[in-house]
Structure 1
């Protein structure tokens, strides 16, 4: 089987990918988009159960997502945006802690992301209003 895959790879290099080239800028953009998809997917997965922003940040770090290390404010901006778009609900407790959780719309979106009914990028553009960076 390995030989067949090697032959296929070689054939594709000679035909399909022969005239394709990717600049470093394009490679960086693709990597950034993949990371962004993983971050939002992780946030949605983690918020199936109610969590504070601090708990969410700890869980993201446990998943080796360090995007928010230098700027925790970005996480809270993202959470606020997801609330505004109707994907999350929140509540305050008596100790002034804010808890976030997926609502029905958020769960449906998570299912789309996980099942790949749409491309992940299309779902994320829907969530973020076309502001993927």
Structure 2
């Protein structure tokens, strides 16, 4: 946890929450809900990437937008994001173009747009799972 958040937590514990009491069961329930919110599955991440790439973005812009959505899987592991982008490009879901000054830009292909539409309709089901299989295998190596 970041240092500034530790200080905030300590201050809130001393002042804001000093008069509140929770049973052990209530504390566990709250912690479970917080953990569920923090956990993002690979499907959630892939869906977010596809949604964000409906308009052209660099990997850096994409990383910042994912972080803003609460997806911190790539924080300090940006190479994994670029591996995912490369995998999606190889599968024909993304196209990339280089610019002289600004770097590499990624955007969805027609195939990627269809996948996104299908995934959103079916609540990110099997269509995303098939695409993820190759990437997840590579990540484990």
Tell me the TM-score normalised to structure 1 length. Answer: 0.68
**Consecutive unaligned residues in structure 1, runs of 5 or more:** 1-30
Question: Is 2:91 the partner of 1:91?
Answer: no
CA positional deviation for 1:70: 2.2
> Paired residue for 2:126, among 114, 117, 122?
122
CA distance in 2: counterparts of 1:96 and 1:47, whole angstroms: 17
Offset at residue 132 of structure 1 (A): 4.9
Q: Does 1:53 align with 2:53?
A: no
Task: Give the Cα separation in 1 of the matches to 2:86 and 2:117.
Answer: 21
Deviations 1:79-102 (A, max 9, x none): 000000000001000115000000
Superposed CA offset, 1:79-132 (max 9, x none): 00000000000100011500000010000000011001xx63411222134665
Give unmatched runs, 5+ long, in structure 2.
Answer: 1-37
Over the aligned positions, Cα root-mean-square deviation in angstroms equals: 2.1
* C-alpha spacing 1:125/1:45, structure 2 compared with 1 (3 Å): same
In the alignment of these two chains, the number of paired residues is 100
- For 1:101, the equivalent position in structure 2 comes to 107
Counterparts of residues 66-77 of structure 1 (less than 5 Å): 66-77=72-83
